[in-house]
Structure 1
């Protein structure tokens, strides 16, 4: 007989109330035994009993498993758990390797990594020129650069931070530098003659470098700017949105921009501070943060997420469990946003709501995206937004700091309420950009239905947008007045005919637009089939004249073909193309049958080094490649970039690679002669092997949990392995998930599929899993991965093909599938909403999977047929149009227009 639960006693603490509510939740579920709960939750009865014991706070994963086993809502319990966890987490020790929300100080210099090249660049500039200006967006790390980077790197320097009285603040900072004087005396001296500072430095401290932080606050203080810029050596930090004000001072200086951290820089900023004090960061945490924040102005959010994870560390390890318990970047943003919003009065709340919505765009396909806008909000509110790390200010304007802000529940609700207005507003913004690009051509102004809808936006409009709408309205009024005058004359002459003509004017215009748009699209498609130029120009005409899903599809495809990335010197009939996980490199077969590395930058490819003679690339990952020679022997290579490849080692004899983790840390394959990936084989001697590539010259064999799986897949960081075992008797494939560390342990409940599974693919962040099976046609199912719990089916993509689907994921919840000559993209959701199809194009080759490029926000897909060319496929129609118009590649010549459309009035697309 099971023993009863230990009584909780008076629930006079938050932890005891939490445990008591868990017990009441179990009672409401019919009070199942802990053994029964264990069966449902995939946790031991003891762990579940301890969760409701009230002695310590259970982990988030354990709490949610308990809640789901009792069939309750996990969302509300997640919120409650995090509130309680905030009270029980360890305080951030002064020697913690991450500063959290505060900038790095000189005390933190030993933990300051990732900006070494930038520090060196500024130091060299200081040696070469008197005035150096460091320009960066808010949140880019300018203060940290000065205090933790430059201050330790320079022999003699002082940091000055101007505020209300810049000259006095300067005097205070220098009071300890110059002996026998006070701050008040220095301030009076500098006000009397700003040049005294230069003279003092030359006489007393000739090597002194002034580091002026937040210099934008003192740009209107002429005496301060004059004093510091006349000094022998000065570095000024200026926020990017004030760059024009700085340039207006007329001071000659070397400008250095603080760019967002690259993936490698961010990886160092995450791992090196922990390594300095003997701690480690799990690869899954690194992968999540790099995917979240690389090449974005989100460094403060990363530091806050790391600080929260540090508070929840296991021993000296920042684990994925601790990271997920902290909520990561998304929780940091949501918590900061709610704290910010709670501190506003009603007027500021309304202004903040309007401002947030102006930084959001809703695309035609319904996808919500961030966008950059010129600032149109009070300075006080703007500074609060910047301080809360919700908005970044750049030279181009304001933008939300991170996609996680879009998922802030309050903002998500506002977006849903205003979705139609946001879509209309996005169309207006695009129209204004095209109007500006066409030198404000009156023909590009709004009229008709679009003008009426724009007028209804009201408070959504900025001053510039309201001016555009007013100009459009005035032109429409003049046009209508002229039309009425003509009608009055003509009615007197031929009343019936003119009235009939005017009443049908709109119908005739729409018919002409439809016919013109159809003809333009037909011309574009014909040019696409012949692979001739200008297909994108005709597609843009068709889309602008008569927008439709079909026109949008043709525009996307023609744009991708126009931007195609060729590989010269490659055979057309036998060229393998293997693209690196982030699309920055590709291995392509040369004429001699040997693969060559190519570097890919934007829409260009530059040839690099070749592998050994007749070696063809089997798998390509970050910094690793596996090749196969003519004898079938496989080999391991280091690939740092297209021009830096190094042979490492031969893999075991008869080894055939099945998967290489995208970060290049783990390798799994089969040993045997009858290996045919995706089909069951009768070879009893065949078996799978798993290797750790930490020391790639001597791969270390790890325990393989399954002897001979039909299919396998490794996660991004190689820490999780999925294996599929086919049971012919029951017609079932069992997919099991294994956590790979010092040992191999089950990572989640197994997934049974009553079909033959041909392929498994992880998303980069580990949140999604794609399973391809045949029933009998090829079907791709996409499952949401829930830590330590069973996956949840979110999408099913059917096809008429029997096999051959190749799957990849973007970092924003999209899944791309290439099947034979079909390429499609679907948007996934973490609730019951069906996936939305964003793209479905026929004409792509089936010999490569699509690869998402986060740096370009597009997919690379191999072109149709056997051509090795890669097509950059952008799903953002507005971005396509903007790119074409900026490069002046959108306008058909007069002869091209007349040849295709005769005397029809030209349509201006930009």
Structure 2
């Protein structure tokens, strides 16, 4: 008889209450035994019992496994676990390599990385000119640059941070520089004659450089500005939204803009500080942070996420487990937003709500996106939002600090409440852009139903937008008055004339836009066929002028072709290309029939090492590859990156791999005769085996529990095996699910299919299962139910009866490649039919599409013989944003005139 649980006693601590609620969740689920929970959760009974023991905080993964095994909702438990983990996190050690949410100081100079080029640029400017102005948006690291970058790099420098009385702040700092003078004496000198500062510097410290932080706070203090303007060496750091005020002062000098950190710079900022104290950061953590923050002014958020990960470090390693437990950048932003919101009054909360909603746009597909806008908002409120790292203040306006702000629950709720108004507002913004592009043509003003909806937007409108609506109202009023005056006459003279005139007026602008947009789309398609540049720019013009499903389709494809990743050098025509699970590595066949590893970045490939001669990769996972040599023998390799591949061991004689888990922990295959996927194998001497790669040089063999399984698949974490056995007499395939431990145990009831099953594919989180039928190549997608029978959610058919290659994204999308057809469908956990998001002919080329979570796109094989990969981004808003950020959206004047003649240029960004 199993031993009962140890009583918790009084639940007088947060940890004990957490454990008590886990126990009550188990009671609500019917109080299954811990052995039964272990079968559902793939954790040992002891681990699950300890999770509810109240002695220590279980890991997030163990907690969520417990909750899911009890059929609970993981979302509130995740939030609660992180709140509890923050209380139990280790205190920040003095040797922590990251400053967190505060700027770097002079004492942090030895761990200030990633800005070396910028520091050198400013130092060179100081040597060449008296005045250097450093401009950057909020969160760009201006203070860190001055304190930890420039101060140590210059031979003689001081930092001044002015406030309400800048001259006194200046005098206070310089008292430590000049001997035998008091703060009051210096301040009086500078008030009487600002030139005294220049004279003192020249006489006593001619090489002194004044580094002025937050200069925008003193722009209105003319005596302070005049004193600095006369000095021989000055660096002014100014927030970008105050640049226009700075230009009004006509100070001259060299202007240097702080650009966002590139991926390489951000990697250095993450890894080098840890290396300084002998710590390491796991590659997966680096990849996640680089994907989230590269080319954005998000370094403060990265630093805070790293500090939280440091609190949860394993030894001296910042691990992915610790990073995920901390919640990453998303949790940093959510916690900052909640803390900031709690300090506000009701009026301030309503003001913040208005600001946030005006920085959001909702696309036609319902997705919310950040947008940069100029808002008439009280500066103190904006300063507080910027200080909390919730918004970024730029020269062009204001925007949310990061995409994760959109996922803050409070903002997500506001967006849902105001969805219709946000969509109406987005249409208004587009209309204003077209109105401006048409030289404010009155025909482009609003009228009718669109005008009535725009008038109801109220607080959503900026001054410029309100001006457009007012002009539209005035024109509508004049037009209505004129129509009333002539209506009777026109109707009496020519019935139908007025109706025709009104309809014709509405159609003029639409016809013009449709013609221009169609011409741009046609030009884009022609350029893509010829593999010439500018195809994506023409597609963007067509999409902006006349948005439609077809224009969006061409924009996505043109962007993918423009960003195509070629494999230059030795790969042969029509070479095999096998991409790793996260799209970070690829194996490509060289001219001599040997595979080479390549490292994949966002839109380029870097060659790495080759495998042994004539070895071809047949399966590629994280850190593992299976190759086949010229004799057909298969071998196991470790693959840490493109330049770090090492031979491990030969696989058993006559072994043929059928599947490998994405994490590289297990391989499943058959030992015996030749294996051809998708066909029954009558060779009774064959046996199915699973190889556990815990010790990769000596894989442990486990016999598969189903002897005659023709099709097998491993879950991506290697913890579950699916087998499909065909009963020819009954015409039924039985799919069974097995939890893998020391032995195999059933993970769910069997699934019967009245067809032959050719392929099975798990989603990354195990929530979805794709089953491919043969010979029709129909793909059914099933939703996994904990310990229950899967539920059919989608049936993906095609006119092309060709083997399907299925993959999943991490947001419930499924990609299917059939020969040269690539399609993506959105799945739903209800009876709603799947939505087809993409259907492209000419791409795919018999290679599985790979979803890249770090870039939110799919890698698809190009349509020709070249071993090229296309990064296919589904979110048109992100495509436009990236094109505009890289200044890759605007056609040159010559290209525009050549294609569209004297038509007014369309503003695309």
TM-score by length of 1: 0.79
1:385 Cα deviation from its structure 2 partner? 0.9
Change (3 A) 1:9 1:171: same
Preserved CA contact (<8 Å) 2:313 2:322: yes
Distance 1:750 1:147 in 2: 61
Change (3 A) 1:855 1:643: closer
- SS of residue paired to 2:2: coil
Change (3 A) 1:646 1:62: closer
Two-structure CA RMSD over aligned residues (Å): 4.7
Count of residue pairs brought into register by the alignment: 833
- SS of residue paired to 1:699: strand
The reply to whether residue 450 of structure 1 matches residue 450 of structure 2 is yes
The reply to whether residue 669 of structure 1 matches residue 626 of structure 2 is yes
The reply to whether residue 699 of structure 1 matches residue 699 of structure 2 is no
Change (3 A) 1:651 1:175: same
Change (3 A) 1:129 1:620: farther
Preserved CA contact (<8 Å) 2:849 2:860: yes
Distance 2:206 2:902 in 1: 68
Preserved CA contact (<8 Å) 1:671 1:689: no
Match of residue 40 from structure 2: 40
Preserved CA contact (<8 Å) 1:520 1:538: no
Q: Where do residues 90-105 of structure 1 align in structure 2 (5 Å cutoff)?
A: 90-105=90-105
Match of 1:657 among 608, 617, 633: 617
- SS of residue paired to 2:837: strand
The reply to whether residue 709 of structure 1 matches residue 669 of structure 2 is no
Match of residue 570 from structure 2: 611
The reply to whether residue 251 of structure 1 matches residue 251 of structure 2 is yes
Match of residue 602 from structure 1: none
Distance 2:854 2:634 in 1: 39
Please identify, of 472-481 and 801-810, the stretch whose mean Cα deviation from structure 2 is larger.
801-810
Deviations 1:146-185 (A, max 9, x none): 1112222222211111112111111111111111112222
The reply to whether residue 586 of structure 1 matches residue 566 of structure 2 is yes
Preserved CA contact (<8 Å) 2:573 2:867: no
Change (3 A) 1:93 1:2: same
Match of residue 180 from structure 1: 180
- SS of residue paired to 1:710: strand
Q: Where do residues 853-892 of structure 1 align in structure 2 (5 Å cutoff)?
A: none
Distance 1:694 1:535 in 2: 33
Match of 1:628 among 574, 589, 595: 589
Change (3 A) 1:628 1:770: farther
Distance 2:504 2:438 in 1: 27
Change (3 A) 1:144 1:283: same
- SS of residue paired to 2:7: coil
- SS of residue paired to 1:145: helix
Distance 1:892 1:695 in 2: 44
Please identify, of 410-419 and 557-566, the stretch whose mean Cα deviation from structure 2 is larger.
557-566
Preserved CA contact (<8 Å) 1:891 1:909: no
Unaligned runs of 5+ in 2: 671-687, 689-705, 720-739
Deviations 1:565-590 (A, max 9, x none): 58xxxxxxxxxxxxxxxx57422xxx
- SS of residue paired to 2:81: helix
Deviations 1:102-123 (A, max 9, x none): 1111222222222222222222
Please identify, of 389-398 and 21-30, the stretch whose mean Cα deviation from structure 2 is larger.
21-30
- SS of residue paired to 1:302: helix
Preserved CA contact (<8 Å) 2:661 2:718: no
1:412 Cα deviation from its structure 2 partner? 0.7
Match of residue 799 from structure 1: 797
Please identify, of 60-69 and 797-806, the stretch whose mean Cα deviation from structure 2 is larger.
797-806
Distance 1:736 1:232 in 2: 66
Match of residue 110 from structure 1: 110
Deviations 1:500-553 (A, max 9, x none): 4435766677789999999889888887887699999999999899x7xxx713
Preserved CA contact (<8 Å) 1:638 1:645: yes
Distance 2:390 2:417 in 1: 21
Distance 2:223 2:242 in 1: 19
- SS of residue paired to 2:373: coil
TM-score by length of 2: 0.79
1:799 Cα deviation from its structure 2 partner? 3.2
Match of residue 160 from structure 2: 160
Please identify, of 727-736 and 392-401, the stretch whose mean Cα deviation from structure 2 is larger.
727-736
The reply to whether residue 689 of structure 1 matches residue 636 of structure 2 is yes
1:709 Cα deviation from its structure 2 partner? 2.8
- SS of residue paired to 1:158: strand
Preserved CA contact (<8 Å) 2:406 2:412: yes
1:348 Cα deviation from its structure 2 partner? 1.0
Distance 1:366 1:771 in 2: 26
Distance 2:475 2:907 in 1: 19
Preserved CA contact (<8 Å) 1:862 1:871: yes
The reply to whether residue 729 of structure 1 matches residue 708 of structure 2 is yes
Change (3 A) 1:514 1:183: closer
- SS of residue paired to 1:586: coil
1:776 Cα deviation from its structure 2 partner? 4.4
Please identify, of 435-444 and 81-90, the stretch whose mean Cα deviation from structure 2 is larger.
435-444
Unaligned runs of 5+ in 1: 567-582, 588-596, 598-609, 676-685, 898-905
Match of residue 846 from structure 1: 845
Change (3 A) 1:703 1:228: farther
Match of residue 548 from structure 2: 552
- SS of residue paired to 1:64: helix
Q: Where do residues 781-792 of structure 1 align in structure 2 (5 Å cutoff)?
A: none
1:704 Cα deviation from its structure 2 partner? 7.9
Change (3 A) 1:746 1:182: farther
Q: Where do residues 198-209 of structure 1 align in structure 2 (5 Å cutoff)?
A: 198-209=198-209
Please identify, of 155-164 and 221-230, the stretch whose mean Cα deviation from structure 2 is larger.
221-230
Change (3 A) 1:849 1:731: closer
Change (3 A) 1:874 1:211: same
Q: Where do residues 431-450 of structure 1 align in structure 2 (5 Å cutoff)?
A: 431-450=431-450
Match of residue 350 from structure 1: 350
Change (3 A) 1:625 1:791: farther
